[in-house]
Amino acid sequence: MRTQVVIIGGGPSGLLLGQLLHRQGIEAVVLERKTRDYVLGRIRAGVLETGLVKLMEEAGVAERLHREGFVHDGTEIACDGEMFHVDFRKLTGTPVIVYGQTEVTRDLYDARADAGAQTEFEVDHVVIHDADSDHPYVTFDQNGTARRIDCDFIAGCDGFHGVSRQSIPLSVRREYEKTYPFGWLGVLSETPPVHDELIYANSPRGFALSSMRNAHLSRYYIQCALSDHPEDWTDKAFWQELKRRIPDEIAERLETGPTIEKSIAPLRSFVTEPMRWGRLFLCGDAAHIVPPTGAKGLNTAASDVHYLYHALVQHYRDKDDEGIDRYSERALLRVWKAERFSWWFSGLLHRYPDQSPFDLKMQQADLSFLRDNEAQQRAFAENYVGLPY
């Protein structure tokens, strides 16, 4: 088999890239290790920057997003038992849209099926060959049969544990990593959101976040120890702890109920450089991880897709490789800015085990400065709604 682009990974970044290429007449085959139902069963954040929304529009898959998504003009930040509002639309002219990552993925899968584009599920033992040559190819097993696809380019959209990054020699790549000494315990409940915007809370007991998926489905998080397990937390214990960390006026109107999903996610900042090796390009979690604070994971993957999509169109349509040659440079420039924001915002809201009284005072001063200074709020809002591509 032969195609122009092999996309390894059938998550939102790989599907978005495939759909954008399809609309430009560029053929791509998507390889996914799991089934479609398995991919759609993953629960992920869903705060979409304007840049991602525009890519979805360009891909022709934004109709349901605009119909069902929640437009958020700002966010609330709580500290010392009080809240203050950061108005994104006033400060930047731009909102964000809350729309679940699962729904983004579903829309892209439906569009790919409608287009008759090729997606291969349940592939195993994927191996990338000759990526540093002019004739790369990918081999894999499927249903007990060995298969091979020859191609012009390979897009590695297969996440942190995928084969793509590992295919770049250690002599070529350099990795940067920070691990955080806590995790997020998250629950999903069939209850109405406690507020019409996200609430990020800093409290002496640790961080908390009140979010939502839709009008009847809420997502809540609390900072927890890395040694904790989801089964350690009963629903009653979770709701009690959440109420202790958010302002009283919010806690009083919080509707609780049985949780339908509960998990703990560790926090990590990670970047690999470069994001290109020969004809192999890394996108999304294959190249970088951000803490979930500020919801930059999917959005940073989308910026990679933007740069790679335009580079490939430039190659095929204009016979110009400038975008390909500069892909890693351009993508990493924005990646590191997103990493900085997620790292800074995490430091603003969480309690660290080694914080001294001085550190806590600095954290309080930083929160006060954000509350009281419009220029700081504007810088925060510009990062939150998404820096330009």
Say which CATH number the domain at 229 has: 3.30.9.10
Are 241 and 186 within one domain? Answer: yes
Structure-derived torsion over alpha carbons of residues 273, 274, 276, 277, reported in degrees to the nearest 10: -110
Are 262 and 272 within one domain? Answer: no
Are 209 and 333 within one domain? Answer: no
Indicate the number of domains in the chain: 2
Q: Please answer whether residues 113 and 24 qualify as being in contact, where contact means their C-beta atoms are separated by less than 8 angstroms.
A: no
The pLDDT assigned to 45 comes to 66
Are 120 and 44 within one domain? Answer: yes
Q: Please answer whether residues 339 and 333 qualify as being in contact, where contact means their C-beta atoms are separated by less than 8 angstroms.
A: no
pTM of the complete model = 0.96
Are 285 and 344 within one domain? Answer: yes
As a three-state string, the secondary structure of 227-240 is CCCHHHCCHHHHHH
The pLDDT assigned to 213 comes to 83
For residue 47, tell me if it sits in a domain. Answer: yes
Say which of 99, 247, 288, 296 is annotated catalytic. 296
Say which of 180, 200, 309, 316 is annotated catalytic. 200
Residue 193 corresponds to which tokens in the numbers above?
């959101």
Are 105 and 117 within one domain? Answer: yes
Q: Please answer whether residues 283 and 301 qualify as being in contact, where contact means their C-beta atoms are separated by less than 8 angstroms.
A: yes
Rg of the chain, C-alpha, whole Å? 21
E strands, 171-299, in order: 174-189, 199-202, 208-214, 217-224, 259-273, 276-277, 280-282, 288-289
Say which of 95, 193, 247, 292 is annotated catalytic. 292
Q: Please answer whether residues 47 and 290 qualify as being in contact, where contact means their C-beta atoms are separated by less than 8 angstroms.
A: no
Average confidence (pLDDT) per 10 residues, the chain, 389 residues: 98 98 98 94 84 98 96 96 96 96 95 96 97 98 97 98 97 98 96 96 97 90 97 97 97 96 96 98 98 95 98 98 98 98 98 97 98 98 97
For residue 111, tell me if it sits in a domain. Answer: yes
- The 3-state DSSP class for residue 169 equals coil
Q: Which of the 8 DSSP states describes residue 2?
A: B
Are 155 and 291 within one domain? Answer: yes
Range of the domain at 169: 2-72+95-178+268-348
The CA–CA distances, whole Å, from 308 to 86, 118, 131, 167 equal 33, 20, 16, 19
For residue 258, tell me if it sits in a domain. Answer: yes
For residue 82, tell me if it sits in a domain. Answer: no
Active site residue 307: no
Say which of 22, 72, 288, 315 is annotated catalytic. 72
**Residue 219 pairs with which residues in a beta bridge?**
188, 211
**Residue 178 pairs with which residues in a beta bridge?**
269
Structure-derived torsion over alpha carbons of residues 45, 48, 49, 51, reported in degrees to the nearest 10: 120
- The 3-state DSSP class for residue 82 equals strand
Are 143 and 283 within one domain? Answer: yes
For residue 37, tell me if it sits in a domain. Answer: yes
For residue 376, tell me if it sits in a domain. Answer: yes
- The 3-state DSSP class for residue 97 equals strand
Q: Which residue do the tokens 């203050």 mark?
A: 84
Q: Please answer whether residues 301 and 285 qualify as being in contact, where contact means their C-beta atoms are separated by less than 8 angstroms.
A: yes
Active site residue 316: no
Are 230 and 102 within one domain? Answer: no
Are 123 and 37 within one domain? Answer: yes
For residue 77, tell me if it sits in a domain. Answer: no
The pLDDT assigned to 46 comes to 86
* Pairing of the two strands 153-156 and 5-8: parallel
Active site residue 176: no
Active site residue 384: yes
Are 67 and 129 within one domain? Answer: yes
Say how far apart CA 119 and CA 102 lie, in whole Å. Answer: 18
For residue 85, tell me if it sits in a domain. Answer: no
- Give me the CATH number covering residue 117: 3.50.50.60
**What are the φ and ψ backbone dihedral angles of 38, each rounded to 5 degrees?**
-65, -45
Q: Please answer whether residues 238 and 187 qualify as being in contact, where contact means their C-beta atoms are separated by less than 8 angstroms.
A: yes
Active site residue 296: yes
Say which of 309, 316, 327, 384 is annotated catalytic. 384
Are 141 and 209 within one domain? Answer: no
Number of Cβ within a 10 Å radius of residue 124: 10
End-to-end CA distance of the chain: 34
